[in-house]
Amino acid sequence: MMSNERQVDLLVLGGGAAGMTAALTAAVLGLDVLLVEKTERVGGTSARSAGSLWVPNSRHSPPGSDSPDNALRYLRAVLGNRLDETRARAFLDAAPEMVAFLEDNSALALRAYAHHPDYRATLEGATLSGRVLEPVPFDASVLTNDFAKLRPPLPEFMLLGGMMVDRPDITHLLNARRSFSSLRYSLGLLARYGADRLRFDRGARLVMGNALVARLYYSLLRRRVPILVSTQALSLTQSEGRVTGALLQSGAGRIAVRTRAGVVLATGGFSHNLEMRRRLLPAGVSRHSPSGRPCRYAAAVTARSPSFLTSCSIAASRASSPSPRADTALFPKPWTITGLPRPCWQRSRTPQASRVFSSATMRSWPNTGSAWCDPAVSICAKRLPTVT
């Protein structure tokens, strides 16, 4: 298949909060940016999170209530001899500047929780408020048709099948029978939600992580940053030891992207990549990661192999018997594998599969490689066809 070619200053892989922040920053600084998201919606894991940011001494902190040295004392108390003070000081210096830069140059708006203690509130340097920031609620109706391209939050964060609520909302809802002001506030929320459902499939008043990614997404759209969804990275391209772009795959075909400034990998980390966990994380970390869902992948960081990806998969370069290679995708237990109506550990026979899965034997999948199951860890793997 012939590849379309495209040249940009910066290519950002991953459409979560980190990737969108990188793309937005580059756009503000005048770079020609392309943002690529593998799934059909932007937002990533951030869209399903609480969206809180730990940023001591931001413009939202109460004046005189904290200091960088005090925040560093807290990090020392929490991390002990594992603290990298150079990096910690760089973070404490740059994080407040980051908040100010984004708020001054985009639709991002944050506020400090009125009361949000540090998690280890009894340690030296801890504070009771001012460090943890949350996104200000966002009216996503301004996204119009693009609202459908934003990943929804967890169902647990919504009432009535689509109305997001945050802590102040919950307080008013619980007090609606005891306070007229809370009753009026609650009725306003319900009326707004009802009006939104006439236009959208969920409420457009967003809070927490969904508000965070929606504000970033809206800012990118306003700056006309091109965003490709349902587009995966097949491989990174290199020249003389330098990354010079990437080969992408979309429904319309392959796209060869060349970059002048580089490629940002913001694809969700490598929590499901056993080899990289062993190599880069401290000893004693669990062999099996409980985090994330199948669309959280360590794809881009394993792009040395051109055959490391499949839709909604997690790239891995090593796992248990029968010794999958770098072209193996792991599928955690709670999620259905593409091509099977039920998880493969149920050993179901389907029209798409020619054989019943066995925990000990590799079985073939028509036109898709082969798969195996490991009931000891409740993980299934599918051998990916090599991309040429």
Window from 48-62, 191-205, 297-311 with minimum mean pLDDT: 297-311
- Strand ranges in the chain using DSSP code E only, listed in sequence order: 3-13, 33-36, 53-54, 110-112, 132-135, 138-139, 158-159, 163-164, 205-206, 227-228, 232-239, 242-250, 253-265, 314-316, 328-331, 363-365, 369-374, 379-383
Please tell me the predicted confidence (pLDDT) of residue 278: 82
Percentage with pLDDT > 70 across the chain: 72
Backbone angles phi, psi at 62, to 5 degrees: -55, 130
pLDDT score for 312: 28
Residues pairing with 235 in the sheet:
247
pLDDT of residue 242: 92
Q: Which residues contact 78 (CB under 8 A, 6 or more apart)?
A: 120, 123
pLDDT in tens, 138-150: 999 999 999 999 9
Whether 380 has a pLDDT exceeding 90, the answer reads: no
* Separation of alpha carbons 12 and 5, rounded Å: 16
> For residue 343, what are the CA distances in angstroms to 19, 31, 58, 257?
31, 44, 46, 36
**pLDDT for res 281:** 81
CA 281 – CA 195 distance, rounded (Å) = 48
pLDDT in tens, 306-344: 332 222 222 222 233 333 333 333 333 222 223 333 333
pLDDT of 3 reads: 65
In the chain, what is the straight-line distance between the N-terminal and C-terminal CA atoms, in Å?
10
Average the pLDDT over 42-65 and give the result: 93
Amino acid 261: pLDDT: 93
Pair of tokens at residue 351:
């029209």
Per-residue pLDDT reduced to its tens digit, 254-302: 999 999 999 999 998 777 778 888 888 877 666 666 554 444 444 444 4
Dihedral sign computed on CA atoms, order 324, 326, 331, 333: positive
Tokens for 33? Answer: 């940016």
**Which pLDDT belongs to residue 165?**
94
Structure confidence at residue 285 (pLDDT): 67
3-state DSSP call for residue 100? helix
- Distance separating alpha carbons of residues 335 and 380, to the nearest angstrom: 10
* Paired residues of 379 in beta bridges: 374
Do the beta carbons of residue 244 and residue 252 sit within 8 Å?
no
Average pLDDT, the chain: 78
Tell which residue, 223, 263, 216, has the closest CA to residue 47: 216
Contact yes or no for 314/273 (Cβ under 8 A): yes
pLDDT surpassing 60 at residue 234? yes
- The three-class DSSP label of residue 357 is coil
Count of Cβ atoms closer than 10 Å to residue 297 Cβ: 30
Residue 42 has pLDDT above 70, yes or no: yes
* DSSP helix/strand/coil, 371: strand
Close Cβ partners of 330 (under 8 Å, ≥ 6 residues apart): 272, 313, 314, 316, 319, 379, 380, 381
